[in-house]
Every structure is written in structure tokens, then in C-alpha cells.
Amino acid sequence: MRVTYRILAYIIAANVAIQAAFMAYAIAGLGIWIDDGGVLDSAVIESDDAPFDEVIGFAVHAINGMFVMPALALILLIISFFAKIQRGVVYALILLGWVIVQIFLGIFGHEAAIFGLLHGLVAFAVYGTAFMAGYRAKKPTPEPAAGNAPF
């Protein structure tokens, strides 16, 4: 279970990079589309037609953030109870908390830009917590026997 915990924690950390990459892809496509004469207004947003190919990045970011990331964080928490990693449950709970904060910031980012800014910053907390959870799940080094202590 220790290896499963570690791999899943690193997958969550990598997923943060995937999230950023797809958002950058979508924003770059939007910028190119606008430079080419496209106009972004409510009619385009409410339309079912994709005005540019890179718009898929927004959908991937939303689906990944709303469904995949919370599922991974919840699975990590469940695994943490069986992995017997020192503070493993604590890291998994903190990570799940950051993911929940991310969801709300992503939703409310459409209401106030400051939430979008915080959404980007909290992504670093999600990444850092997931990476540290994976790093701390390394197989512990065996402690020397009491008779073999150097001092």
C-alpha cells in the first residue's frame, strides 16, 4: 500500500501540471483566435459550436478539476488508512482540503477575478502537498540496532 500511496500522490502532483498545461493551451488558442479577428461575447460563450480548436482545454481543465482530481484525492485518503505511512493520513486530508478549496475557487472564479487568482496560487499548494506526500512515503531507512549505535 505504501507504493500505491506514493504513486497516487505523484500522479496527483503531475495532474496539477496537466491542469496548468491545458489551461495555458486554451488561453493561447483564445488569444490567437482573437488576434485573427474573433470576438468573445456572451453569444460565443453560450453557443454549442467551438470557435477555436483549443477550446477543448477549458473543458479538460473543468472536468479534470471537478471530477478526476477530487476522486484521486479521496482515493489517496482511503489508501492512507492502510498504507501505514507516518503522517500519511494527515497529508492526504490536507491534500483533499486543498482540492476542495480549489473546486470552490474555480467555481467562484467566474464571479470575482480574485478567486481566479487564488485558484492559480492554491494549485501550488496542491502540487506541493501531493509531492511531499509521495516523497514522505519512501520506504523508511532501517534504524540501527541499539547495540550498533555510533555513540
* 131 confidence band (pLDDT: 50, 70, 90): very high
Give, in order, the Cα–Cα distances in Å from 52 to each of 20, 42, 45, 60, 67: 19, 15, 12, 15, 25
In whole angstroms, give the CA distance from residue 54 to residue 33: 9
What average pLDDT is seen over the chain?
A: 90
Domain chopping of the chain, boundaries: 2-40+49-138
pLDDT at position 38, please? 82
* pLDDT tens column, 69-120: 999 999 999 999 999 999 999 999 999 999 999 999 999 988 999 999 999 9
Task: Give the whole-angstrom CA distance, residue 70 versus residue 43.
Answer: 32
pLDDT at position 82:
94
The pTM for the full model equals 0.85
Average pLDDT over residues 123-131: 98
